[in-house]
Amino acid sequence: MNIHEYQAREIFRQHGMPVPPGEVATTPEEAEKIAKTLGTGVVVKAQVHAGGRGKAGGVKLAATPAEAREAAGKILGMQIKGLTVTKVLVSPVEEIEHEAYVGAIVDRANGAVVLMASPEGGIDIEEVAAKTPELIFKETVDPRYGLLPHQASRLAYKLYAGDPGRARQAADIITKLYASMLGAGASLLEINPLITTKSGELKAIDAKMNIDDNELFRRTTIAELRDVEAEAPEEVKARAQGLTYIKLDGNVGCCVNGAGLAMATMDLVKYYGGEPANFLDIGGSSSPEKVVTAIEIITSDAAVQSILFNIFGGITRCDDVANGIVEATKEIELKVPITIRLTGTNEDEAVKILEDAGFSAMTDMDEAVQKAVELAKN
Ligand code: GDP
Ligand code: MN
């Protein structure tokens, strides 16, 4: 789950992180009022689940409350990476002397949290990683011991060698970053930039936080931070039906049961020269209703040129899936070809249901994927 910067800032605050104050506005007038209350120049920032807001024009400085209103007027309603801005954060403007980067991520290969720091902050960390990877420093946290003080110090001194004052502040911030990660059940946390002000103070002026969905059931206050309006509508719809859906950039719409088979299917689509339009796992046990929702979601993506069903019937019954496909296509007119591969539990019944409805079904996965990829090209 993604949360907004203002929400991540609040979590940071609760862990003692130095974060500037600020309030959220949904109208230009509200932004003006907040700026008046703060009594300083402000920065007005789009609150959307996307990075690169600065480059997109979603971060603006304003010297007066009137300017804050004007800036908010420009940012509210703006589209950033396909997401509409409905909220802005209004925060006192900081005088920046230096921008660094600190982040934390769950490293699945190591089964541990990795802390990262770079003196090259303010720009995309991916860009730093590509051009000057030697300027990204890392520490792996052993989950048995947690973050050890010397690890935080080592990273901090990589950032501010020769400046113990700043390094001490940075070590404290890195420690609080790790505490925030554990506290919120985050899988990724980034402060970019971590700034040094003209007076030598370190502050987090941006906050990105992804929460691990599997942590939400035991963190009800964090779960309440979900902003459904800010999420992609298809993903919201899929979640409501218990489907896992992630939109991708390709044109082969994939509908699969089981995450492993979904990954294998996407690999095979790529292997045969295609690009998957999505990851969609209809789950282990399936009802015709789930299949209907899946088809609704896939067909609502205009990029999809070909639909591929790949079902391995174990607990999932192939006839349930077949019934779902037949039902869905009664309601929704398919504008693109559909390729169906199913095998396993109640396969014969499924083939009969599909053939009676005028569909053909395949049993070989390679053949089906190849066909779906071909159809997407035409
Ligand atoms: P992002 O582009 O989505 O990562 O948004 P950020 O919060 O990182 O803001 C982008 C950039 O705007 C930062 O890297 C800063 O250079 C600038 N910026 C943000 N807040 C302030 C501020 O308070 N003062 C100044 N001078 N610049 C700021
Ligand atoms: Mn940033």
Q: How far is the CA of 355 from the centre of ligand 2 (A)?
A: 54
Q: How far is the CA of 18 from the centre of ligand 1 (A)?
A: 16
Beta bridge partners of 130: none
User: CA 378 to CA 366: how far, in whole Å?
Assistant: 19
Among 255, 315, 242, 245, residue whose Cα is nearest residue 285: 315
Q: Which amino acid is at 356?
A: D
The pairs formed by 267-272 with CB atoms below 8 angstroms and a separation of 24 or more are 268/365, 268/366, 268/369, 269/308, 269/369, 269/372, 269/373, 271/369, 272/369, 272/370, 272/373
User: CA 207 to CA 3: how far, in whole Å?
Assistant: 10
Query: From atom 14 of ligand 1, which residue's Cα is the shortest distance away?
Result: 122
**77 and 120: one domain?**
no
Q: How far is the CA of 118 from the centre of ligand 2 (A)?
A: 13
Does residue 357 line the site of ligand 1, with CB under 6 A? no
Pocket test for ligand 1, best of 40, 205, 208, 209 (most atoms within 8 A of CB): 205
CATH number for the domain spanning 112: value is 3.30.470.20
Q: Is the dihedral of CA 313, 217, 190, 77 positive or negative?
A: positive
Q: Which ligand is nearest to the CA of 43?
A: 1
Does residue 190 line the site of ligand 1, with CB under 6 A? no
123 domain-assigned: yes
Enter the tokens of residue 363.
Answer: 């049993």
Residue 190 a catalytic site member: yes
9 domain-assigned: no
Boundary-marking domain end, from 223, 248, 282: 223
Does residue 205 line the site of ligand 1, with CB under 6 A? yes
Confidence (pLDDT) at 285:
66
The pairs formed by 256-264 with CB atoms below 8 angstroms and a separation of 24 or more are 256/280, 256/281, 256/282, 256/309, 256/310, 256/311, 257/281, 257/282, 257/283, 257/284, 257/286, 257/311, 257/312, 257/316, 257/321, 258/283, 258/284, 258/312, 258/316, 261/310, 261/312
Q: What is the pTM of this model?
A: 0.82
Does residue 52 line the site of ligand 1, with CB under 6 A? yes
Q: What is the pLDDT of residues 1-18, one digit of tens each?
A: 999 999 999 999 999 999
**290 and 331: one domain?**
yes
Q: How far is the CA of 117 from the centre of ligand 1 (A)?
A: 18
Boundary-marking domain end, from 223, 249, 267: 223
Confidence (pLDDT) at 15:
98
Does residue 38 line the site of ligand 1, with CB under 6 A? no
Catalytic residue among 5, 30, 94, 101: 101
Boundary-marking domain end, from 162, 194, 223: 223
Radius of gyration of the chain (CA): 25
Residue 178 a catalytic site member: no
Helical residues (DSSP H) of 54-98, grouped into ranges: 65-75
What does each C-alpha distance from 20 to 124, 142, 175, 200, 338 come to in angstroms? Answer: 22, 31, 18, 15, 53
**Tens digit of each residue's pLDDT, the chain (378 residues):** 999 999 999 999 999 999 999 999 999 999 999 999 999 999 999 999 988 999 999 999 999 999 999 999 999 999 998 789 999 999 999 999 999 999 999 998 889 999 999 999 998 899 999 999 999 999 999 999 999 999 999 999 999 999 999 999 999 999 999 999 999 999 999 999 999 999 999 999 999 999 999 999 999 999 999 998 888 788 888 988 889 999 898 999 999 999 999 999 999 999 999 999 999 999 876 688 888 899 999 999 889 999 999 999 988 899 999 999 999 999 888 999 999 999 999 999 999 999 999 999 999 999 999 999 999 998
**52 and 114: one domain?**
no
**111 and 213: one domain?**
yes
Does residue 119 line the site of ligand 1, with CB under 6 A? no
Domain that holds residue 318: 232-377
Confidence (pLDDT) at 93:
97
Catalytic residue among 99, 120, 139, 190: 190
**210 and 246: one domain?**
no
100 domain-assigned: yes
CATH number for the domain spanning 329: value is 3.40.50.261
Residue ranges near ligand 2 (ion) with Cβ within 5 Å: 192, 206
3-state secondary structure of 115: strand
4 domain-assigned: no
Helix (H) / strand (E) element for 244: namely: strand 244-247
3-state secondary structure of 269: helix
172 domain-assigned: yes
8 domain-assigned: no
Bond preceding residue 149 cis, omega within 30 of 0: no
**279 and 343: one domain?**
yes
Give the number of domains in the chain: 3
Does residue 59 line the site of ligand 1, with CB under 6 A? yes
Ligand 1 atom nearest the C-alpha of 20 is: 23
Confidence (pLDDT) at 287:
81
Looking only at Cα atoms, what is the longest distance across the chain?
77
11 domain-assigned: no
